[in-house]
Amino acid sequence: MLRVQVDRSDVIETVNTHLKALIDDIDAVGQHPLQEAAITFLKECTAAFDSYTSVPDPDSLHKSVILSALDLLQRWENWLASATFQHIASRVFHEFLLRFSKGMVKSYRIWRLDSLK
């Protein structure tokens, strides 16, 4: 197997730079409750990455990302409960994405707990 050594700090900085650019792009589009939730999530993730680059603490990084993701999912679920759609397919699509996202966050939390053992 071919292994490539990658400096983690470079990867974190690259991801952080892209997340900040994404926040600016979403801000430019306009405000919508779901967009605000996504922006909050991205800002909290970039703050977690910023703090990780200054003090490398994987536990706080994972904890921050997981809590931010859970907050995003809760906001999305609240918005979905009160949203009106022209087509039922749009609601079903959002419900599918929400359920899929919840599964991803749950898997991430379980992986994190198992990795601490």
The token pair that represents 35 in the structure block? 């967009």
Across all residues in the chain, what is the average pLDDT? 85
Output the CA angle 45-16-51, nearest 5 degrees: 60
Residue 73 corresponds to which tokens in the numbers above?
A: 């999912």
In tens, the pLDDT along 88-110 reads 999 999 999 999 999 999 999 99
Asked if the model's pLDDT at residue 11 lies above 80, the reply is no
Distance separating alpha carbons of residues 108 and 62, to the nearest angstrom? 9
CA dist 117 and 111 (Å) reads 10
